[in-house]
A and B are shown apart, each in its own frame.
Chain A
Amino acid sequence: MTGKRLISFPVLLGGLLVAGLFVSLRDFTVDGDLWWHIKVGQTILATHHWPTTDVYSFTAHGMPWMAYEWVGEVLLAAVQRAWGLQGLLALNLALGAAVVLGLYALGTLRSRNSKAAFVACGLLLYLTAVSFTLRPQMLGYLLLILALIILERFRQGRVGTLWLLPPLFLLWVNTHGSFVIGIFAFGVYAISGLFEHRWGGLESRRWTPAQRLRLGIVFLASMIVLVVNPYGTKLVIYPVDMAFSQPVNLSVIREWQSMPFNSAPGKLFLGLLVGFLLALVALRLTWHLAEFTLFLFGIVAACLHARLVLIFVPFCAPLLAVILSRWIPPYESGKDKLALNAVLIIAIVVGIARFFPSQTQLQSRVEEQWPVKAVQYLEQHPPPLPMFNTYSYGGYLIYALDGRNKVFIDGRADIYERVGVLADYGRIGRVEPIALRLLDVYSVQSCLIERNEALGTLLATSPRWQKVYADDQSVLFVRTQISVALRK
């Protein structure tokens, strides 16, 4: 029976989702933060210590800092050490597949219609893939979907899986700050079952006393395990710090900007929103208070911060599957063509194996995106230090120069915001009148920046700076008197 289920039509649909994901992921678009996450993981693996201060930059050197996503970082470093870039892509694909299949399972669980869930996930795949850059947040994403599946199963009366939540939260708090969204979802489910009511198309059912007791115990246990981490309560409250104490980070870092409706994912999000509204009006569906609250929260979160579309998607998928199940007939196992399914599933597996990029192809993709050649130049011709760098380059410099050059800034915006460096970086990057003076204040002697950024034009114009290296991507400037001395 299990063998038959493995080659059933719903499994084939899951395979198609993974295949669709592979097409978008094999391009191996690397997030700039991946590199410093790997380096932090490598350091933890090598030293068996969790960092408590910054050692990677010269601007925030020695300041309190914690590796709040350390489990994910250790995983990334271990995979990179074992299998290199191919291992990283495989991990990316594996995590992406787990997320998409988790979404598919969630949609199926809610709608009892795997075909409708497949279409819903297919529609949402494009939005989901936007968040599939390899970082510890992908683990957080997966854990959020698992938490939702557990809660939905509990709501449907299958209580056993609820006990998985405390270990899940234990792993989650050590992996990514999105655990607070899991707690929020847990709270919404729990509270919405404290009363029985029906408001138009919204309904809530009261938990039985036994369910309430179980929920209470599991919730308490999940809260307690949160402090089981290398940094104690500091790690638990980090997401709150992020939300309320880092205004510069939220206002200047692109992924924290509001939903860009002029982009293709933004337009798809808007289309889904309008489609859902139309379905509300035309179909008069009934929703559980908890799922609708989470959906509404997901919309608001994604509109405010494009990055949080990763919250919208799992909150939206079950509702979208329910809407689509009005038109899509459910799966009928009697009509299934198992042999054909098996052939197609094998074709997908073979296709992924066949088209999986080689180490050389991946290396060349990395070179297209990151200052690989510039780093080789820096190693051959060490520039005068300290060196200013573009924000997105920081992570790669930490990774590739192995701590030899301390960076000006990198993707750890939190630490740079606390010491005022993030605001100064913004002023320099925007070429404000104070830009050159700020470079003096930080005693910057060289600058590695992207080829087309405004600061490059300014430094090229200034007689105090000289271009000493340039390639298709990046350009290196050094202070004039030093470059003269170097030439001598």
Chain B
Amino acid sequence: MKTPQEPETTRLWRAPKPEGAASQAEPAGGLGGHPSDLKIPRQPLAKRLISFPALLGGLLVAGLFVPLREFDGDPDLWYHIKFGQDILATHRFPTVDTYSFTAHGTTWMANEWLGDVLLGAVYRAAGLRGLLALDLALGAAILVALYASAWLRTRNSKAGFVACALLLPLVFVSLSLRPQMLGYFFLILTLIIIERFRQGRSATLWLLPPLFLVWVNTHGSFVIGLFAVGVYGITGLFKLRWGALESMPWTAAQRLRLGTACLLSLSVLAITPYGVRLPGYPIDMAFLQPIGVAHVQEWGPMSFNQPFGQYFLALLAAFLLAQIVFRPTWQLAELTLFFAGLLAACLHTRFLLVFVPFSAPLFATILSRWVPPYQPGKDKCALNALLMAAVVAGIIRFFPSREQLESRVARHSPVEAVQYILRHPPPQPMYNNYEFGGYLIFALDGRNKVFVDGRADIYERTGVLADYASIAGVEQSALPLLRAYNVQSCLLKQGEALATLLAASSQWQKSYADDLSVVFVRSHTGE
């Protein structure tokens, strides 16, 4: 598209053509655009709300609702609710552990306190249905933001939709209701803000400092946001063209704005109930918690024998093939983030949530070669409105009842065992399966202190996590360790190795069992 008179910089900053004006012969594989190039015909808000792109967004949300309605409650959800409830009740931020007997009194902070408070408040107001509604709302916000991010890069809503639909199975892996969902959402918002800035719309950049203020108090993933902003900032310090990689320098005004916004964003990170200790937490997590990273499943490497791992691999192979066949051009920043996302997801499955937002704009760009852009003139608004109404009605109609949700929670959390424990308090202290810890903190309301729960950080620092691994792994030291902690009862998962060991031991007696869990108490007659 370069004309002989056109300077190189203008060519590089050409915007993807807006939908309705784009030529199909020109794939949106180039760089983003400058505001002066953008002439998107604006439609009235009401019309936009029932446009085909909005319908596509609605379809994504509908696709998300189907798996999310199987709400089973992440094991960590329960302690987050409890922490939030306690902060709401006491108006104080915890500084020491009060929930376990193994790390009781040890320094600890509720590093995701804002998310905890939100979860605590929603549960208090609307119970399990409120939690599912929040899960759906956050999931929908994430997906719609992802769709917006892909559209922003390609200006092709249909390609953005297909990219998001392709990534949906990977998105779903990360959508268990926890404060990390807010972090996920903030990351995509950051990418949108920075992409808009790259395309010349500077004003939204000022949203970054308040966003980081909320983010640092919500989830440790704010460091990934800082990294993304840093990558965009640094790659805009020089001009580069290396094969299909391009980078354009910021103007002096852009540099100033970006520098100021970054500085402000960094400054607000200290505005937390725990001061600078909270922004330092992710570094502690990354470098000082090897046992947590090695043993906790979501920190494990990408597992290609799982369906989502195989799907991830297929997407990767498709990207590689597309790269060699179509040779699209990428900005240095977006490709750097894509690689970072790829590495992070391979090293730790949990970081699929980083790979997805970093890859969605790239997949949309590739897909926009085949998917024609949206043409408002051909839109059938009435049909869109009807379908969107059907989506909303479907969600309302199939929204699970409280009883249904309670029965789903009972499939994965020791609900019946807790009722038994409340009726027949076992001797204390009680050892518990790692995944049950969060629910015990929530359901027993502090009456029983737990052995361990999803806060791997505090248990790693005190050495409890390593001991837990030895006990749960039925190592030779398992029974001596139970004795060393003076454990008098154990709440375990049915079928776990320790349950087999205790059943074979004359020192322990099974006092309760259901389909999910089993309680053992120490039998002093056997000693």
Question: Do A and B come together as binding partners?
Answer: yes
User: How many angstroms between the C-alpha atoms of A199 and B503 in the bound complex?
Assistant: 64
Partner of B317, one of A250, A267, A287, A300: A300
A284 lies within 8 A of B317 (CB): no
| Residues on the A chain within 8 Å of B324, using CB | 200-202, 280, 287, 292
Q: Which residue of A lies closest to B507 (CB)?
A: A461
A457 to B324, CA, bound (A): 54
A279 nearest in chain B by CB position? B243
**In the complex, which residues of chain B have a beta carbon less than 8 angstroms from the beta carbon of A281?**
243-245, 323, 330, 335
| Docked pose: A457 CA to B305 CA in angstroms | 30
Interface residue A430 (Cβ < 8 Å from any Cβ of B): yes
Whether A304 contacts B323 by the Cβ 8 Å rule is no
Contact flag A457-B475 (CB < 8 Å), given A280-B323, A296-B317, A304-B313: yes
Residue of A nearest to B322 (CB): A200
Interface status of A29 (Cβ within 8 A of chain B): no
A-B Cβ contacts below 8 A, count: 115
Interface stretch, picked from A159-167, A204-212, A270-278, is A270-278
Is the CB–CB distance between A200 and B326 below 8 Å? yes
Q: Of all chain A residues, which has the CB nearest B303?
A: A258
Q: Assess A433 versus B302: contact at CB under 8 Å? Given A274-B343, A452-B475.
A: no
The 8 Å CB contact of B347, one of A270, A430, A433, is A270
| Cross-chain contact of A456 among B300, B342, B476, B500 (Cβ < 8 A) | B476
* A360 proximal to B (CB < 8 A): no
> Which of A259, A282, A431, A460 contacts B244, CB < 8 Å?
A282
**CA A296 – CA B313 in complex, angstroms?**
11
- Contact across chains for A461 and B245 when beta carbons are under 8 A apart: no
Q: A200-B326, A251-B305, A457-B476 are in contact. Are A433 and B339 (CB under 8 A)?
A: no
Beta-carbon nearest neighbor of B324 in chain A: A201
Please count how many residues in chain B sit with their CB below 8 Å of the partner chain's CB atoms: 44
Smallest CB gap from A259: residue in B: B304
Q: Are A432 and B500 in contact (CB under 8 A)?
A: yes
- Contact of B475 with A431 in the complex, beta carbons under 8 Å: no
Using Cβ atoms and an 8 Å threshold, which residues of chain B touch A436? 500, 504
Known: A202-B324, A251-B305, A433-B503. A282 touches B243 (CB 8 A): yes
Q: Tell me the chain B residues, 468-502 only, with Cβ under 8 Å from chain A.
A: 473-476, 478-479, 495, 497, 499-501
Question: What residues of chain B lie closer than 8 Å to A454, measured between beta carbons?
Answer: 473-475, 497, 501
In the complex, A454→B504 CA distance in Å?
13
Residue of B nearest to A250 (CB): B305
Contact call A431/B501, Cβ cutoff below 8 A: yes
What chain B residues lie within 8 Å of A201 (beta carbons)?
324-325, 327
CB distance from A126 to the nearest CB of B (A): 18
Residue A283 at the chain B interface, CB threshold 8 Å: yes
Is A435 interfacial (CB 8 A cutoff)?
yes
Cα A460 to Cα B478 with chains together (Å): 12
| Candidate in A300, A430, A458 with the most chain B CB atoms within 10 angstroms | A458
Q: B325 near A458 (CB under 8 angstroms)?
A: no
B382, CB-defined interface residue at 8 Å = no
B301, A266: Cβ atoms under 8 Å? yes
CB pair B301 A463 closer than 8 Å:
no
Contact at A431–B339, with CB atoms within 8 Å?
no
Q: Would you call B309 an interface residue if the criterion is a C-beta within 8 Å of the partner chain's C-beta atoms?
A: yes
Whole-angstrom CA separation of A200 from B323 in the bound complex: 9
Q: Determine the chain A residues whose CB is within 8 A of the CB of B479 once the complex forms.
A: 457, 461
What is the CA–CA distance of A288 and B502 in the complex, to the nearest angstrom? 61
**Interface check A260, CB cutoff 8 A:** yes
Closest Cβ of chain B to A430, distance in Å, is: 6
Instruction: For B499, give the chain A residue with the smallest CB separation.
Output: A433
19 contacts between A and B (CB under 8 A): A200-B327, A201-B325, A257-B305, A261-B301, A261-B347, A274-B343, A277-B339, A281-B244, A282-B245, A283-B243, A284-B244, A292-B324, A303-B304, A304-B313, A432-B497, A433-B495, A433-B499, A457-B478, A458-B504
Residues of A within 8 A of B (CB): 199-202, 250-251, 257-262, 266-267, 270, 274, 277-278, 280-284, 287, 292, 296, 299-300, 303-304, 430-433, 435-436, 452, 454, 456-458, 460-463
Which residues of B approach A to under 8 Å, CB–CB? 242-245, 294, 300-305, 309-310, 313, 317, 320-321, 323-327, 330, 335, 339, 342-343, 346-347, 473-476, 478-479, 495, 497, 499-501, 503-506
Other CB < 8 Å A-B pairs besides A251-B305, A457-B476, 15 of them? A258-B309, A267-B347, A270-B347, A274-B342, A281-B243, A281-B245, A282-B244, A283-B243, A292-B324, A296-B320, A452-B475, A457-B475, A458-B474, A458-B497, A462-B504
Q: Top 8 A-B pairs ranked by shortest CB distance? A: A258-B304, A261-B301, A454-B474, A431-B497, A282-B243, A200-B325, A201-B324, A462-B504
